[in-house]
Amino acid sequence: MPNLATWIRPKDTKWFRPIFRKHPDIKVWNAQKRSVRLEQMDGLLLTGGSDISPDFLRQKVVNPSLLDKQIDPERDRWEFAAVQEALSRGLPIFAICKGLQVFNVALGGTLKLDIKGHNLPEQRDRDIQPLRYARRASHRFSKVNSAHHQAIERLGDDLEVEAWSAHDGIVEQIHLQKYPFARAVQYHPERSRVYDSLFEDFFSRLKARKH
């Protein structure tokens, strides 16, 4: 049985439960609830959450008031260690929202610490933000449910952009080049079955490691 490492906030479990239910042959280890032995994991899922703690950023935070009040250094410590472990073993990685930002920073990138027009209430659960895609992007959705106030500024090493916000060019989808499978999205595919192909792609890579 493949083991999947993740950190999911209690308020987000309702979104992921139906997705995991479709794959009972995958064992999900939520580090928010219990200890996870990373060396025994077969894949890594990075999910949404609060802003990354300043200690983990690769840039100076000139105005700390821009950051969320509920930052979680314990989670950040675990996720950055998990990314390094996964990369060292070539594990499948799928990152969502904050997860995209963690992945980018872990690979040497930086963030725009506050952006406008991407965190409106109607953007959270409705697929209303149009994207433009790179020619080689393997997953394409005409509009997405993207809600965030931070975004990629400088890309991490060997990352390639697959999609941008159509109206202002904010990065919304990336993948790691020359790596078996590592994809990250700024939007929230767990909140709509429209995006099931992303999870199916990820889970198929995860299961393949056990065959």
Q: What tens digit of pLDDT does each residue of 155-208 get?
A: 999 999 999 999 889 999 999 999 999 999 999 999 999 999 999 999 999 999
The CATH number for 41's domain is 3.40.50.880
* Residue-number span of the structural domain to which 75 is assigned: 3-208
Predicted structure pTM score: 0.95
Question: Which residues form the catalytic set?
Answer: 97, 188, 190
The string of pLDDT tens digits covering residues 3-25 is 999 999 999 999 999 999 999 99
**Angle, alpha carbons 103-109-112 (nearest 5°):** 100
The string of pLDDT tens digits covering residues 58-94 is 888 878 888 878 899 999 999 999 999 999 999 999 9
Token pair for residue 129? 């933000």
Structural domains in the chain (count): 1
